[in-house]
Amino acid sequence: MDRKGQVYDIITNRSLTYRQKKHLLAVQGENILDYPNLSSETWEYYQKKVLCDLYEGNAPYRPRYILPDYNLLFSKGSTFLNLKPPTDLFEAIQSLIIMYTNVPSITGQPVYLGNIDQLLEPFTKGLDEDYIYKMIKWFLISIDRIIADGFAHMNIGPEETLIGKLILKAERELKQSVPNLSFKYCKERTSEEFLLEAVNTALITGKPHFHNHQLISEQVGNYGIVSCYNNLKIGGGSHTLVRINLLKLAREAKDLEDFLNSKLKDIAKSAVEMVNARARFLVEEVKYFETDFLAEEGFISLDNFTSMVGVFALAEAVNYFSEGKYGLDQNANRLGLEIIHALDKYLKEHPGLYCKGSGDRVVLHAQSGISEDVEETAGTRIPIGDEPPLFQHLNAVIPFHKYFVSGTSDIFIFDKTIRQNPQALADIIKGSMDKGLRTFTVNVGDSDLIRVTGYLIKRTDLENYRKGVKNKDSSANLGAEAIENQRILNRKVNKYGL
């Protein structure tokens, strides 16, 4: 279909809201331009979809992920937004909402909302708890209605705070898919009571994600969790994300030796070339970091940015070469680790342009998949329907997590009986993180909120999509497509007590 036809289809699509149409039309405008210059080898990988840029667009004019330092907003305000530092809880919340509407990302909405409990806790002194709760509840409602995108991500923890506990309480009451939520867990700093509050919320809503604060801090520094489950520096972010289809790459190899020693090496070089080309356009031609108020006022710095190279379909690549089955067979799992170790090594051989935030190298990411993925499994996950019993599952995936400095996630589905013993789940999370698990994502089989990959979709939104009814959540349509294509509702359920 030509460009005019695509534009016509967008503007006449009755299942899209005005804002969703506007965003898709902007993508069409961007794609009129030529792609940043690439070598013939890299372009061929791109055309074959061995490399995928997740449809970021031909001419990146804003970073994919931005993590403003919201503490600066509270300490000095913003000249561009004509905001003074807030003096009370009301002003603090309103300042954040105003700021959010001016923070771009690949989705057109902010993907990082801040470590909210740490930001707002100082404004609670002397206030009635019922008043604070009402403010927090309406703050969350406002985000769901104004931003309306499942990739908008809020962080809490690791220390227990009143704001953090009230956010968890409000999430249980509201049961909204937006915002996404992450809980930073630290053995030395997180109270058992606070962890259990978060576990009880997750058993109702499928959020928060649980993140290994000690591990991520050691690898990233002062970090935030953004979009799905991405670990990036606060005051920075990621220019772009290019992903590698390991199954398609495996099919191009003569044999396993060729795959490990040649194809992985070639694709690492091409992936870095692609992210560098996109970063160069953003920084040198668009001059984003010279012209946007976020950089001008110090909310972000180019020195804190990186670029991400993601992988997916590891399971299928392993199964292509191995007699055993990934996730179920130790030899297959060892081959998976060998593949990721080799790719990580090859990626580090090439400088990442404008990647000072990660030592001038790109960072590896376990990409969570998109709706068009039919035969490929997200990241390094075990394929849906093949998941082994819980503890075997954990032991299979934990060794991979240390490689994915910019984020990885495995989703564990539980039977509703787990709600009778949240302490059991809390203990599983703590034990897993002691062994090196980076992120623990939980969902309960009967929840109204379905964990798609890194984000949630409400069952009512799924039904709306099937009926052709508009969804205000701009990520809901993507989630509904993924549920249909990837058998997400067929994830194996962990029975309580196993």
| Single-letter code of the amino acid located at 421 | N
Confidence of residue 439 (pLDDT cuts 50, 70, 90): very high
Least confident of 174-183, 402-411, 483-492: 483-492
Whether 41 has a pLDDT exceeding 70, the answer reads yes
Whether 54 has a pLDDT exceeding 50, the answer reads yes
The pLDDT value given to residue 498 = 41
Helix, strand or coil for residue 67?
strand
The one-character DSSP state at 454 is S
What is the average pLDDT score of the chain? 95
The enclosing H or E element of 79 equals: none
Give dist(CA 405, CA 216) in Å, integer. Answer: 7
- For the ranges 237-246, 452-461, 468-477, the one whose mean pLDDT is highest: 237-246
The enclosing H or E element of 310 equals: strand 305-312
E-strand stretches of 179-282: 180-185, 209-212, 223-226, 230-233, 236-245
User: Two tokens at 73?
Assistant: 């907003």
Whether 496 has a pLDDT exceeding 70, the answer reads no
Closest CA to 455 of 481, 492, 423, 434: 481
pLDDT digits (tens, 9 = 90+) for 190-236: 999 999 999 999 999 999 999 999 999 999 999 999 999 999 999 99
User: Two tokens at 337?
Assistant: 């680790």
Give dist(CA 107, CA 121) in Å, integer. Answer: 29
pLDDT digits (tens, 9 = 90+) for 311-331: 999 999 999 999 999 999 999
The pLDDT value given to residue 457 = 86
What is the DSSP code string of 169-206? HHHHHH--S-SEEEEEE-TTT--HHHHHHHHHHHHHHS
The pLDDT value given to residue 497 = 41
Neighbour-count burial for 323-353, b at 16+ CB within 10 Å, e otherwise: eebbbbbeebbebbeebbebbbebbbebebb
Q: Is 321 exposed, middle or buried (0-12, 13-18, 19+ CB in 10 A)?
A: middle
The pLDDT value given to residue 326 = 98
pLDDT digits (tens, 9 = 90+) for 240-292: 999 999 999 999 999 999 999 999 999 999 999 999 999 999 999 999 999 99
Confidence of residue 488 (pLDDT cuts 50, 70, 90): confident
Residue with token string 């209605």 = 145
Please state the domain extents for the chain: 1-32, 39-62+236-408, 69-229+415-498
Q: Is the pTM of this model over 0.75?
A: yes
Tell me what the mean pLDDT of segment 374-391 comes to: 95
Closest CA to 56 of 6, 122, 108: 108
- C-alpha distance from residue 134 to each of 128, 141, 167, 173, 493 (Å): 10, 10, 10, 12, 36
Closest CA to 77 of 337, 355, 297: 297
User: Two tokens at 235?
Assistant: 């005051």
Give dist(CA 328, CA 306) in Å, integer. Answer: 35
Whether 487 has a pLDDT exceeding 50, the answer reads yes
Give dist(CA 200, CA 202) in Å, integer. Answer: 5
Q: Give the residue with greater pLDDT, 215 vs 480.
A: 215
Share of the chain above pLDDT 90, in %: 87
Confidence of residue 459 (pLDDT cuts 50, 70, 90): confident
Give dist(CA 124, CA 129) in Å, integer. Answer: 8
**What radius of gyration do the chain's Cα atoms show?**
22
Give dist(CA 433, CA 427) in Å, integer. Answer: 10
Give dist(CA 381, CA 89) in Å, integer. Answer: 41
Q: Are 328 and 349 in contact (CB under 8 A)?
A: no
- Helix, strand, coil percentages in the chain from 3-state DSSP, rounded to 5: 50, 15, 35
